[in-house]
Structure formats: structure tokens, C-alpha cells
Amino acid sequence: MLLDNIEKVGKYETLFMKRRTFIKKAGLGLTSIPILNSNLINTSILSADSIFFKLSLAQFSLFQSIMSKKIEVYDFARISREEGFEGLEYVTALYKGGFFNLGKNKFGLKEAKEFAKKSNSKANEFGQENLLLMVDSEGNLSNSDAKESKISIENHHKWIDAASEMNCHSIRVNLYGSPDPKIWKESSIKNLNSLCEYAKDYKINILIENHNNLSSNADLLIEVIKNIEYDNFGTLPDFGGWCLEFDDEIMKKVYSKYRGGRNKDNSGPTSIADACKTLYDRYEGMKKILPYAKGVSAKSHAFDSSGNNTTFDYKRMLKLVKDSGYSGFIGVEYGGFGIDPIQGVRSTRKLLLESAKNL
């Protein structure tokens, strides 16, 4: 019966079911039915009741294809739906030209509102839920310079406005700045409290992520978390972001790949994980920051012949999430260079669902 509802639309195979028939048979008051890539049916629909979370797509997974113009940035909602996801996690820098073209185009509140309006339209068209904005390259929030901090905080305000208009629950910010742990901690606490104060009237959460360097020192991060005075604050634990120190030479090659550069034999680092010199214990780190989670990022780097992520144990990581009591969206975030980004998304999604079924 299910297979009778498969039809091809263009180059994509999608799942189509008439809404009235579905509602009548399932007894559900749904207003829209997601279109799913048919090769995901077995791992999505048939296992949906057995997993404890919902699936979202992190736009960073598509970073390389968007920057190389293979994918249009506003096709995000369409691709998410076709690949079987329900929620969207946006990367704001991609709407400003990418991480390496920032500053070339003016992007203020007006442009952020235009982004919100267009993204809302696309999300509605494809039955997707806007979840959060991952905000990058808007200035450092973990430095002691008062003037620089003020500019950085104000740069984030437009994204809080946009997130509110999109009915997102949060924006994710980065804690970059001073390499001195004491200065980093004090300035992070002060500036995060300031952002939370601004965001509370918009009903937007401010989330911090273990996004490498000092922000991946879970003990130091907990000291920051415990000094935030607002309820609209939380964490976005990332399976993969636990590097405390990188190898500068390997990172140059990583940045080259982010820009679209590739060797003919596709040699070099397969992901940013290859550049890590010092790693915080990722399992202990996740255990410490998961109690504050208002989102979770299921990062992947590379896969072996059995489809397992090569840099950490997915099942072990997911068990930590489940044991913490978290039951919201988990965002699929492929961060490697070894395979096509869409295939990376599919492989990560499949691994996540299979890991969940086997807990």
C-alpha cells in the first residue's frame, strides 16, 4: 500500500499520500504531510515510533555545495523535506556570502528581516519547522574589550529579531575571544547575560555550543553556564566539537577544502577532526552539558565500510542523550569532505536512526 504512493517528481523520488486518505486512516489532524525521499522510508516512517527524538537538518551539512553554487541557499527547506527531516537549523553566515566573504555585502536588520520573510515562506511551502539560527562571524563574545564586546552584542541583535519572526526557539552563538581562561570566562558570562536580557522579550533562547577551543573545555563551560541569570539560556551539545587545540598546518588544508579546494585524488584531511591535536573527553563533556540542552547536534566526520562514524561511537553518544532525558530535535550535521554532502546527510541520518533503534 505504501509503495503505491510513491511517485517520481523530477529527479527525486518522493512519498505522496493524499491528506484526506491519510487523516481518515490514521485519525490524525495534520495539516501537511512531509514528502520523503523513498530510500528513507524504511529508516524513517517504519522506525519513527521507536525513537525518542525528532529529526532536523543542520544547514552546515550543505555548506560546501552552497558555496560552490551547486545548491541555492534558499533551497534548504526543500532539501530538508525531500530527505525526510521535520526541522531546520540555519547557518546565518551562508546568507551573508559565506564565512570567507563576510563584510563584502551590507547585512543589517533590514536584510535579516528579508531573510526571515523568505525563509518563512520556504518553510511553510515545504512543511518544515524553523528551529534555530546558528550565528557565526558577528564578533567575539569572549574578550575583555568593552567596545568590541558592545559591537559584537549589537551584531547579534538582528538575528534575535529574525529568529523571533521565524518562530525559532533559539539562536546559537559562539564563545570565541581571549585565550586566557579567566578573561574568557568573565567576558563570556557578562556578554551572554546581556544577550539573554535582549532576547527574553522576543522569547528567544541563547544557546552556546562546545565549538572547539576553550568552549570545548566542559569544566570551564559549566562555570559560565552556572553564572547565567536567565531562563532563556541553554546549550547545544555537539557530538563532534570537542577539540581544545588544532594543528595550524592541517587547519590550512581544512580551510582550503571549506573554500572548495580539492586535490585530484581527494587526499588531505577528511574533516576538521583530522586537525585536532588535543581533545577533551567527548563523552564526559556531553554528559556534563546535556542537562542544559535545548537542542543537540549529531555531527559526523567520516564513515567506515559498515556505515559507522570513524571518530567516535554514535550509539554511546546517543545513549548519553537519551539518559539525560532530552527528547527534542536532534540535528543531523555532516561535517566531512570525503563524500557528497547529500550522501553525508543520508549516511548520518541512517546511522542516527539505527543507533537509536539499537539502544
For residue 67, what pLDDT band results from cuts at 50, 70 and 90? Answer: confident
- What's residue 114's pLDDT? 97
One domain, residues 26 and 86: no
- Quickly count: other Cβ atoms within 10 Å of residue 156's Cβ: 23
- What's residue 101's pLDDT? 59
Least confident stretch, 34-43, 85-94, 96-105? 34-43
The CATH number given to whatever domain includes residue 102 is 3.20.20.150
Give yes or no for residue 346 having a pLDDT over 90: yes
Q: Is the model more confident about 180 or about 68?
A: 180
pLDDT tens, position by position, 20-59: 333 333 443 433 444 445 444 444 443 445 689 999 999 9
One domain, residues 350 and 332: yes
One domain, residues 22 and 131: no
One domain, residues 10 and 69: no
One domain, residues 22 and 106: no
One domain, residues 291 and 153: yes
Cα(173)–Cα(132) distance, integer angstroms = 11
One domain, residues 315 and 234: yes
One domain, residues 123 and 2: no
Give yes or no for residue 268 having a pLDDT over 60: yes
- What's residue 306's pLDDT? 95
Overall domain count for the chain: 2
pLDDT tens, position by position, 210-260: 998 999 999 999 999 999 999 999 999 999 999 999 888 888 887 776 666
One domain, residues 21 and 151: no
For residue 118, what pLDDT band results from cuts at 50, 70 and 90? Answer: very high
One domain, residues 189 and 220: yes
- What's residue 11's pLDDT? 34
One domain, residues 224 and 300: yes
One domain, residues 258 and 274: yes
- What's residue 42's pLDDT? 42
Which range of residues forms the domain containing residue 7? Answer: 1-33
For residue 18, what pLDDT band results from cuts at 50, 70 and 90? Answer: very low
**Nearest to 32, CA basis, from 16, 11, 51, 48:** 16
Q: Residue 89 pairs with which residues in a beta bridge?
A: 58, 132
Percent of the chain with pLDDT over 90: 70
Q: Is 111 buried (19+), middle (13-18) or exposed (0-12) by CB count in 10 A?
A: middle
For residue 337, what pLDDT band results from cuts at 50, 70 and 90? Answer: confident
